[in-house]
Every structure is written in C-alpha cells, then in structure tokens.
Amino acid sequence: MALLLETEDLHFSYHGFEPCLSGVTMAVNAGERIGLVGHNGAGKSTLLHLLVGLNKPSSGRIAAFGRDYQSEEDFRLLRRRVGLVFQDPDDQLFCPTVAEDVAFGPLNLGYSIQDAMCIVDETLASLGLSEFRERITHKLSGGQKRLVSLATVLAMKPDILLLDEPTNALDEKTTRSLIDILVNLPQAMVIVSHDRAFREEVVTRTILMEGGQIR
C-alpha cells in the first residue's frame, strides 16, 4: 500500500497547558480508513488539527505525499490535499446558502464560477443533497449541516479525508447513508468516532490514543 501521510514523534501543547500530544508516530496508507479512538480528551481532535496545519507541532515531523511540511506555505499546499470535516459543522459553514458554502473551496482553488457551480451540483448530487442547494445554511438541521460540511470538503477533491465525529447528530437513516457514502469514496481517511457500530462498518484499521500517545 502506498504511504500517503506520516507523522514522527509529534509533540504539542496548547499555549500555557500541559503536553497534549506526546510522541505521536503514525502512518496513513492509500485505501485505508483509520478509526482513531480513545477517551474524551485523549488528543484525537488535536491530532487531526495538526495533520492539516491548524496547529503547529512543538516538535516532530509531518510528511505527506513524499515531502515534509513545516512552513505555513507547506501547510497551505497540504490543505489542498487533506480535507478536514470539523466536529462542529458551524465551524465549517459560514456562507448564506448551501451552494455558496460548497462553492467556496473550489473558488478558492481558482476554479471559475461556472466550473465551481458544476462541482457544487456534482458533489451535492453524489451525496443525495441536491434538494438543499439553495437552502439557507444556518437554517438546516444539525444532521443536514453535517452532510453539507462533508460536501464542502469533498468539493475540494482531497486525497485524504479527516472526519471528526461524523455521526454526531445523525439519525439512523442518515448514518446509514453516510456509511454507504464513505465506504464508496476513494479517499484514505482518518475518522475520529465514538460510534462503535459505525466504525465496525467503515474503518479498516483502528488506532487507540491515550493521554496524547498512541497505544
């Protein structure tokens, strides 16, 4: 399996706090859907945020697609290829309508408005969300917002998807749709989830975190 992303001996502390990640070494290979599990506060979300450069490690190495990532410019490039679906959709969605939210990433990547709108239509259709296209984003339900968040990330055609508690606020039927969507996507994934039944259907390998370390 081709190695896509790896970390070596990552350490991280929030400013003024005790160490949160201590020596995290892990690898993501093509075709894998890794379940990242552990108690509340183990450092799972923090690790996802480091993997896309939202926070910088205090030491250690992050490499992806054959190169090391250190500067903000490096992480800007990395964010084109690694997409993070946040735990809270309100952190991800900020445009008036669903179409504008989904178009935001492609427009930022330099697509024309016409091409971005084609991507919006394709992405929403692939997730069964076409009916939400013109809806006002902040008026969607929690579960609907979560699926639209996934659409905003998929519209950027990432090589790796990071998902933080993707089944939060989803009912059984929507969770079923999400499972079917995820297992049919080509991207490698790292998925933080406390939902055991969901993980059993989706993940191909599990990594356990405890106290900021991988066990």
Residue count, binding to ligand ATP (CB under 6 A): 11
Of 7, 28, 45, 50, the one binding ligand ATP (CB under 6 A) is 45
Minimal distance in Å, beta carbon 74 to ligand ATP? 22
- Angstrom distances, CA of residue 154 to CA of 19, 42, 200: 33, 27, 23
Distances, alpha carbon 164 to alpha carbons 44, 86, 200, in Å: 9, 6, 16
- Residue 99 to residues 116, 125, 140, 167, 187, Cα–Cα distance (Å): 10, 12, 13, 22, 23
Q: Which of 4, 5, 10, 20 binds ligand ATP (CB under 6 A)?
A: 20
Contacting residue, 9, 14, 206, 210, with ligand ATP by CB under 6 A? 14
- Candidates 36-44, 133-141, 148-156, 177-185; binding stretch for ligand ATP (CB under 6 A): 36-44
Using rule CB under 6 A, residue 42 touches ligand ATP: yes
**Considering the rule CB under 6 A, would residue 196 count as an interface residue with ligand ATP?**
no
> Interface with ligand ATP includes 43 (CB under 6 A)?
yes
- CB of residue 157 to ligand ATP, shortest distance in Å: 26
Question: Among 85, 64, 59, which Cα is nearest to 74's?
Answer: 64
